[in-house]
Structure 1
Amino acid sequence: MTTEPGATALFDKFGTYVLPGRASDPRRGIDEAKEAERIGLGCVWISERYALKEPAVLSGAVSEATDRIRITGTFYATMRHPLVTASIANLMQAMSGDRFRLMFARAVPAYMKMLGSPAITMERLADTISIMRRLWAGETVKYEGIMGNFPAIKLTDRYEGPPPPVIFTAIGPKSLEFAGEHCDGVLLHPFVSPQGVANSVKIVRDAAEKAGRDPMAVRIYHNIIVAPDLPADEEAAVVRGRAITYFELPGFGDLIVDINGWDKSVLDQVRAHPKIASLNGKPADQAYTRAELVDVGRILPQQWIDEGAAVGSAAQCADQLMPYLDAGADEILLHGAAPKDMGPLTTELKRALAAKGF
């Protein structure tokens, strides 16, 4: 059987979110995962939102609805007992045939405080990862520390296959260094430019080497907003509206701008907009839809869109994505457009990848 040029590289190097943002129909995520696999993408990513987007449930559903595609579930480390998270990942590897990857995200501290959950600090993350790896290795873990007091926890029915890779979302230097020291992979944030990717890769690899690890064993995943062949109003919501949900956040937006070397004064203009200023710390994506943030998004310079996203025809988007691979990304997470709208893009990606010799 002859494989279409670029198809293997597409499967190895590109994935997509299912159910991005707020979701009212969770079953749509199953259809999106099946479509992603059909058009040749290699991974579906599932974020965590406390309503109709529980990653443990959705990951299990996706594993049964698909055959080959990798599945990455995102979890907040302090919202579950470590044994529960370790058990979910253990079960998902068994259910999916070793296709599961576990990702930890750092939520906005104010959001975790609102939930009454401890802040997701580096110390808590390091201990959580250590505990889970010991559990996956079959140990009975005795632990007393920042995560709590666990006299004797164990996975009584442990899957004997490989443990899932642990990925961490990172933006700034400290979190990138943490990923290099402790994790199997790091997911970079949307609107990090190719130069920002290269800067991030160096920080991760240097930290891994300093920690005595193989620098190339830490995979670099990059999350990019794509809007191929979308109507103008939908493109504005997918790109500029969504961008505001990142840039308005104190800390998050600043770190993206810093890693890219962009003009930080733009963030002041964004945060001074009446829609953002009236939030009093509440995240914009919990108060507005993406379409409702388009007017705020018009503040962003065109340079930020050109360097941080992929917009235009399917062919243009595919060509715009290649520099991120050149900058050191091992795999790209396509975000924004739904899998049902990505067929032409995946065709163009195969063309672009084959042209680069992948």
Structure 2
Amino acid sequence: MAPTLPELGYYALSRHPVNPAELVSEAQLADRVGFGAAFISERFNVKDAAAISGGLVAASRRMGVATAATNHNTRHPIITASMGATLSTMSGGRFALGLGRGFALQWQVLGLPDVTSAQLTDVASVLRTLWRGEMILAHDGPLGKFDYLNIGVEVPPVPIMLVTMSPKTLRLAGRIADAVVLHTFFSDEATRTAVKTVRAAAEEAGRDPASVRIWGVVATVPDEFDEAERRRRLYGRLATYLQGYPDVLMRANGWRADDLEKIRASSAFTDARGPIDATATDDELIELAELIPGSWVADSAVGTPAECAATIARQFDLGVDSVIMHGAAPSELLPVLDAYRAVRPTLPELPVNPGMCASASTAAAHPVEAGENR
């Protein structure tokens, strides 16, 4: 068992097509070689957040586990509270609940309301109250009306994380969250700005700015992959994000709208048969790689394992507390992990729970402010 690196995480089952049968061996390896945390990004197919998180908790003994993200509006608050309580108890306090807004179009298709800041603020307060073993009577707030909410037990603290890249939600995270997960393909400047936004909002809310743990996310595509696979994991992945939510990613990075229009006008984009990183041919990926400006992927971890490790280590200079290596399985990241140990910066000692900061003692003690509707 290699020493744990609590500041490093990976996304479980990040490849296409998703095969949940790979989860256990992947997690066991990650736990053994020293990854600090595993994150699960929920999809409404074979990546149910509760089920996958349970598998990660059971397969590991040391590393933290977090949803990054699930959505509060897809479950009754008692179901979400029960999920968090079960996973926290199973893991001995290694689980963190990461929430996000999701996408308006998705909620329209599913017949669900959009997620608002006021709802996220309310659900954080409700969940923390329930996890303290307290009951809630006659709740009437942005989350909804509930005559009686209670899970009947007190559980180890369950940190609440927000997964976001928008300034509005970053400010909300500074006020109410224990941790924040940023987004893949953030430029260095976008990362610095996001960190400053979270810390400033925390200070304005009367919190210690360092009490919010911030995770940067870096696409990690080492040279061990062949050229076609590197294109898929780099340009294909970015093009997939541009299919789903281009505007907020463009704004965060200050990217030019005319560059996006050229990408959108390409046959590789207009003729996409689904998520581009899952369905595009290599010829289509070559077309996209020629159109996507090099600066849009310049802050990714690419090259030799040593070069990738150096990019990961530089993230801490931008103000983040931890880094998720995204886009590769733990078995594919072993050379990078070894190289990182050689350049690992001096960092505060962090808990393995990915939602807790270096000085965290309880996730339920943070003030919760009223939030505005989106």
TM-score, normalized by the shorter chain, greater than 0.5? yes
Aligned residue for 1:102, secondary structure, equals strand
Q: State the Cα distance separating 1:262 from its structure 2 match.
A: 3.1
Q: Which residue of 2 aligns with 1:95?
A: 90
Higher relative contact order at CA 8 Å, sep ≥6: structure 1 or structure 2? 2
Q: 1:347 and 2:338 equivalent? A: yes
Q: State the Cα distance separating 1:287 from its structure 2 match.
A: 9.5
Q: Which residue of 2 aligns with 1:51?
A: 45
Instruction: Pick one of 296, 302, 306 that aligns with 1:304.
Output: 296
1:168/1:183 contact within 8 Å kept: yes
Q: State the Cα distance separating 1:141 from its structure 2 match.
A: 1.3
Change in CA separation of 1:79 and 1:216 when aligned onto 2, cut-off 3 Å: same
Q: State the Cα distance separating 1:20 from its structure 2 match.
A: 1.1
Mark the runs of 5 or more structure 2 residues left unpaired by the alignment: 348-374
1:187/1:222 contact within 8 Å kept: yes
Q: Which residue of 2 aligns with 1:117?
A: 112
Q: State the Cα distance separating 1:165 from its structure 2 match.
A: 1.0
Structural RMSD (CA): 2.1
Percent identity (aligned): 32
Q: Please list, as runs of the form range in 1=range in 2, the aligned pairs for 1:202-221 lying within 5 A after superposition.
A: 202-221=196-215
Q: Please list, as runs of the form range in 1=range in 2, the aligned pairs for 1:17-36 lying within 5 A after superposition.
A: 17-36=11-30
Q: State the Cα distance separating 1:202 from its structure 2 match.
A: 0.5
Change in CA separation of 1:15 and 1:287 when aligned onto 2, cut-off 3 Å: closer
Mapped to 1, the partners of 2:247 and 2:258 lie a distance apart of: 10
Mapped to 2, the partners of 1:343 and 1:148 lie a distance apart of: 46
Mark the runs of 5 or more structure 1 residues left unpaired by the alignment: none
Q: Which amino acid aligns with 1:183?
A: A
Mapped to 1, the partners of 2:303 and 2:127 lie a distance apart of: 43
Mapped to 2, the partners of 1:185 and 1:291 lie a distance apart of: 38
Q: Which residue of 2 aligns with 1:237?
A: 232
Q: Which residue of 2 aligns with 1:285?
A: 275
Q: 1:227 and 2:221 equivalent? A: yes
Mapped to 2, the partners of 1:51 and 1:259 lie a distance apart of: 29
Q: Which residue of 2 aligns with 1:85?
A: 80
Instruction: Pick one of 60, 63, 66 that aligns with 1:66.
Output: 60
Aligned residue for 1:44, secondary structure, equals strand
Change in CA separation of 1:89 and 1:286 when aligned onto 2, cut-off 3 Å: farther
Mapped to 2, the partners of 1:357 and 1:80 lie a distance apart of: 41
Q: State the Cα distance separating 1:291 from its structure 2 match.
A: 5.1
Q: Which amino acid aligns with 2:24?
A: I
Mapped to 1, the partners of 2:293 and 2:136 lie a distance apart of: 51
Mapped to 2, the partners of 1:240 and 1:23 lie a distance apart of: 17
Change in CA separation of 1:334 and 1:276 when aligned onto 2, cut-off 3 Å: same
Q: Which amino acid aligns with 1:351?
A: A
Q: State the Cα distance separating 1:288 from its structure 2 match.
A: 4.9
Q: Which amino acid aligns with 2:148?
A: A
Mapped to 1, the partners of 2:54 and 2:61 lie a distance apart of: 12
Q: Which residue of 2 aligns with 1:326?
A: 317
Tell me the matched-pair count. Answer: 342
Q: 1:141 and 2:141 equivalent? A: no
